């Protein structure tokens, strides 16, 4: 049977259909009218707000300041960095008319802001005392998408984009790694996604970057999802936008710049890392509701309703995001299914008999099977720990899944087998042509050269030329 | 002398030049490359973040949920509400090309989101149980601006836009007033702007609204600035976008909708309400730095520098946003001028002799004249109160200014005289033609029919026809 009573295709049967159905049915998103656009509904937006708050706190704690740069960028700006314009041209949305007239120069809706921020940096930086300049922006960006997929590839998405300028390569490279560390921490600690940080191969670099780093997560279909990227630009954008400073010795130098971004794509990553046949599973730290209380009041029972509200108040006072589902027209069973579909970590059922016993029935969304009677009095005290355990359980489960779907391979047959269901750790020659050959045969691409990996040498798993990078590369099919 | 040593035109001499110079020199903004666009620099963006955090808290506390709707709206959507498209057409920026092709239907960059949110509401609402639907969005909007002015009129600005749907006129009207109350509170309590809440006359209504409410602030040149608006749409947008619900009795009804917005324009309001010849004056609750410590260390004095950092740490622990200006290459005098220009409420000067005496010299940006020795030990305890008093002082000063620049007038001569320097409280016939006549003669427009005002009757101050509205209308020149 392809669909259970919630009307959702089983994840195990058709992952893509499961994903497309569950993000809509759980109320995370809706389709916008313009091609590939997405409405983020309140239930999805709250997840973004939780991620945003924690990411913003870490960005500020490391000395970055938020600012806001214009959405509309003169088309000519993009052309100043040759690789950059080549990479982004096919995806641009262009404003040609405004205020009732045709514009002299078309404006592009920002696909990313290196160019316009580069232009301002050039204005703001003159001395070494102005460096490092550490900026961040929370914004929407538009990249025209022909095959849209909610959260993962949409014509418009939300993100933060860090943009920094430094007095030398060393400081800029340190910044690139700092941003990557923040992403790694946020992905692990909040989203419970055990990402692998690493460097992109030349063929997978950001348009205009010298080095691109990424954190890669494994989804429950074995595919990889890039969860955040951090780029060292060298002096490429500084040259294009004339970002210079006068050093202590009085000599004029080019700045070294970086940029780094994390997006609403992370919501898709959460869905695909933790969800199951029943629907979503939210890590408590991102969950809109951490606990849902379902009062069992067939025929109406004001004592039960009052006790549910009282418990919710005490849980909220203990810092637990709690929702009481008091909808009179629906059965408890319907509500159980709905909150499972919507991924609430902990459900508390409270009926007249429970109330008499001074307990509620607790059901976790995953993990220990079955219902468990828990004392009402101590719940505000125990719930934060229960939620922490659930968060840790999800991270451990995802780690175990990733490990059991990653194979170290040395033959082409094993490689092809591994990337059919997960990741392959393989030696590679480093040639882009060989990467393309692998992609054409298996749909797998090099996800990253992991930062933390043993050194390894030998021959390319595909073409048998001597391996490069000094370690194994992660290959996998990707979103 | 038109310019003091900071290089800023005196406010008293040329208010418009003063404003344009001060917002740039204080580091709040910069000009974007596309016509009328604005870069909000970190020092300005932090003010927006403080306002945003408090406004968001109040919006959520009253039951609204944040969501995000697409930036790009099919052009045809706007045409569905006749007044709405007429009002916004001249200001639209239009995307005609995307993904390398000409679009079949052009997309407008949202000037406001009633249309696209209306379309989604129509999808999401079916029963009376879905109502009220209380949504809010934090977003950028674009309205093409031929005569841009930083913060006040820019081609792109940031705002929140609330959009709600209700089961009847009464509930929707209550919502409209609730939003207005939130704006009134935020303007007063955070921005220290003693706004006047009131209703707009028909000629000043939002395009598509049945009733528009506003909060109006008086700037220090006597002009009015609309600081936030709240609209009751009746069933206009519900008709255009087919937003219907089935009532308890099973009958299908049109929803009543509202929308309300507050924007980055508020930063301009803060500048023009509190600033003076020396530059900005920030209300402590919005100030990026509430206290700046200037260590006086000519020739270098590590004990003073350490004491400044220690004091800053203790002030921060007490919740005071504190900045130490430790720049070695600048004189204390230069720093005093700069932080006065940048509007920091409290400056603490700390030199070797102060340190010996266990005190710092405190200088307030406005109010009590002169320096005052304050004990270092008790500053973390006393500073929150000092800041509260400064905040209250600014509100009282602005209230006094507004009152002394508002006159109740009954003759045309007095009216013309009053609106040359401030506001006139006058009886009006209510005709749009008469409003236009007044505007042509004096540049003054009806700012609002104040909610809280004594009833009054008589004849129109301009045309002598019988007065309408039952009370006096506020007239003034406006931004």
Q: Average pLDDT of chain B?
A: 96
Region B164-174: mean pLDDT is 98
CA distances for B156 relative to A74, A120, B51, B88, B93, angstroms: 14, 17, 18, 14, 10
At A1, is the pLDDT very low, low, confident or very high (cuts 50, 70, 90)?
very low
- The secondary structure of residue B202, as a DSSP letter, is G
Residue B365 to residue B369: CA distance in whole angstroms: 9
B362 and B387 Cβ atoms separated by less than 8 Å: no
Q: What angle do CA A282, A283, A285 make, to 5 degrees?
A: 120
DSSP A307-376: HHHHHHHHHHHTT--EEE---TTS-HHHHHHHHHHTT-SEEEEE-HHHHHHTEEEEEESSSS-S-EEEET
3 state SS of B198? strand
Q: Average pLDDT of chain A?
A: 96
Residues of A in contact with B155 (CB under 8 A): 70, 72
Q: Do A39 and B68 touch (CB under 8 A)?
A: yes
Residue B3: the pLDDT is: 45
CA distances for A240 relative to A94, A115, A119, A234, B204, angstroms: 22, 9, 9, 12, 47
Residue B146 to residue B383: CA distance in whole angstroms: 45
pTM score: 0.97
Partner B, chain A 29-58, Cβ-Cβ below 8 Å: 30, 32-35, 37-42, 45-46, 48-49
CA distances for A187 relative to A270, B74, B455, angstroms: 9, 36, 61
Closest Cα to residue B260, out of B230, B234, B235?
Answer: B230
At A3, is the pLDDT very low, low, confident or very high (cuts 50, 70, 90)?
very low
Region B92-109: mean pLDDT is 96
Chain A CB within 8 Å of residue B27 CB: no
Which of A35-39, B30-34, B296-300 has the lowest average pLDDT? B296-300
- The secondary structure of residue A420, as a DSSP letter, is H
Contacts of B188 (CB under 8 A, 6+ apart): B194, B195, B395
Provide the ipTM. 0.96
Residue of B nearest to A93 (CA): B98
Nearest Cα of chain B lies from the Cα of A115 at a distance, in angstroms, of 11
Region A157-171: mean pLDDT is 98
Please write down the long-range contacts of A368-371, taking CB distance under 8 Å and 24 or more positions apart.
none
* Burial class of residue A62, CB neighbours in 10 A (0-12, 13-18, 19+): middle
Percent of chain B past pLDDT 70, that is, above it, reads 99
Residues of A in contact with B116 (CB under 8 A): 32-33
Convert the pLDDT of each residue in B276-309 to its tens digit.
999 999 999 999 999 999 999 876 778 999 999 9
Residue B55 to residue B44: CA distance in whole angstroms: 17
Q: Do B100 and A90 touch (CB under 8 A)?
A: yes
Closest Cα to residue A268, out of A23, A446, A458?
Answer: A23
Residue A5: the pLDDT is: 53
Closest Cα to residue A323, out of A282, A301, A295?
Answer: A295
Q: Do A72 and B142 touch (CB under 8 A)?
A: yes
Residues of A in contact with B95 (CB under 8 A): 93-96, 109
In CATH terms, B291-387 corresponds, of 3.40.50.300, 3.30.930.10, 3.40.50.800, 3.90.700.10, to 3.40.50.800
Region A339-358: mean pLDDT is 97
Residue A81: the pLDDT is: 87
Partner B, chain A 86-125, Cβ-Cβ below 8 Å: 89-100, 106-107, 109, 116, 119-120, 123-124
Chain A CB within 8 Å of residue B269 CB: no
Contacts of A236 (CB under 8 A, 6+ apart): A81, A83, A208, A209, A210, A257
Class of domain B406-477: alpha beta
B150 pLDDT more than 90? yes
**A116 - beta bridge partners?**
none
A8 pLDDT more than 80? yes
Q: Do B33 and A70 touch (CB under 8 A)?
A: yes
Residue of B nearest to A64 (CA): B42
B2 pLDDT more than 70? no
Contacts of B468 (CB under 8 A, 6+ apart): B428, B429, B430
Region B313-320: mean pLDDT is 98
Assigned CATH topology for domain A15-274: BirA Bifunctional Protein; domain 2 (3.30.930)
The single residue listed with the structure tokens 């940048």 is B342
Residue of A nearest to B63 (CA): A42
The segment(s) of chain A belonging to CATH 3.30.930.10 are: 15-274
Residues of A in contact with B327 (CB under 8 A): 129
Residue B205's CB is within 10 A of a number of other CB atoms, namely 17
Residue A6: the pLDDT is: 62
The segment(s) of chain A belonging to CATH 3.30.110.30 are: 406-477
Residues of B in contact with A38 (CB under 8 A): 70
The segment(s) of chain B belonging to CATH 3.40.50.800 are: 291-387
State phi, psi for A232 to the nearest 5 degrees: -100, 120
Residue of B nearest to A156 (CA): B70
- Backbone CA torsion sign across A104, A110, A116, A118: negative
Helices and strands (H, E) in chain B, number of each type: 14, 23
The single residue listed with the structure tokens 């305890």 is B381
């Amino acid at each position: 049977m392809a669909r259970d009573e919630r009307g959702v295709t089983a994840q195990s049967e058709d992952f893509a259909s499961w994903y497309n159905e569950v993000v809509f049915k759980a109320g995370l998103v809706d389709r916008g009218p313009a091609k590939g656009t997405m409405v983020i509904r309140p239930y999805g937006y709250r997840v973004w707000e939780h991620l945003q708050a924690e990411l913003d706190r870490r960005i500020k704690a490391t000395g970055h300041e938020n600012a806001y740069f214009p959405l509309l960028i003169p088309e000519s700006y993009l052309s100043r960095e040759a690789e950059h314009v080549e990479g982004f041209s096919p995806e641009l949305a262009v404003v040609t008319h405004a205020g009732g007239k045709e514009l002299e120069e078309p404006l592009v809706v920002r696909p990313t802001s290196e160019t316009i921020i580069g232009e301002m940096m050039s204005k703001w930086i003159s001395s070494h005392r102005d460096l490092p300049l550490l900026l961040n922006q929370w914004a929407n960006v538009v990249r025209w998408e022909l095959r849209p997929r909610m959260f993962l590839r949409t014509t418009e998405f939300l993100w933060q984009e860090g943009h920094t300028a430094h007095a030398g390569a060393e400081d800029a490279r340190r910044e690139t790694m700092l941003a990557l560390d923040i992403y790694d921490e946020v992905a692990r600690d909040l989203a419970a996604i055990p990402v692998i940080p690493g460097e992109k191969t030349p063929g997978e670099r950001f348009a205009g970057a010298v080095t691109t780093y990424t954190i890669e997560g494994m989804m429950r279909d074995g595919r990889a999802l890039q969860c955040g990227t951090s780029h060292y630009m060298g002096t490429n954008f500084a040259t294009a936008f004339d970002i210079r400073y006068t050093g202590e010795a009085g000599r004029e130098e080019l700045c070294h710049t970086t940029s780094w971004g994390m997006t609403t794509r992370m919501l898709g990553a959460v869905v695909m890392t933790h969800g199951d046949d029943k629907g979503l599973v939210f890590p408590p730290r991102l969950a809109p509701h951490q606990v849902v209380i379902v009062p069992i009041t067939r025929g109406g029972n004001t004592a039960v309703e009052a006790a549910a509200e009282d418990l919710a108040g005490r849980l909220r006072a203990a810092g637990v995001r709690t929702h009481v589902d008091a909808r009179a027209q629906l059965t408890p069973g319907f509500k159980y299914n709905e909150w499972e579909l919507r991924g609430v970590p902990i459900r508390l059922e409270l009926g007249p008999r429970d109330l008499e016993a001074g307990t509620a029935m607790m059901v976790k969304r995953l993990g220990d099977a079955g219902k468990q009677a828990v004392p009402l009095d101590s719940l505000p005290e125990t719930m934060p720990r229960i939620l922490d355990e659930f968060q840790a359980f999800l991270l451990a489960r995802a780690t175990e899944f990733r490990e059991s779907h990653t194979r170290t391979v040395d033959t082409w047959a094993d490689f092809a087998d591994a990337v059919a269901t997960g990741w392959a750790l393989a030696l590679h020659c480093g040639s882009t042509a060989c990467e393309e050959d692998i992609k054409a045969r298996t749909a797998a691409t090099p996800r990253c050269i992991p930062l933390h990996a043993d050194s390894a040498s030998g021959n390319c798993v595909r073409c048998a030329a001597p391996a490069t990078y000094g370690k194994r590369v992660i290959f996998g099919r990707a979103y």
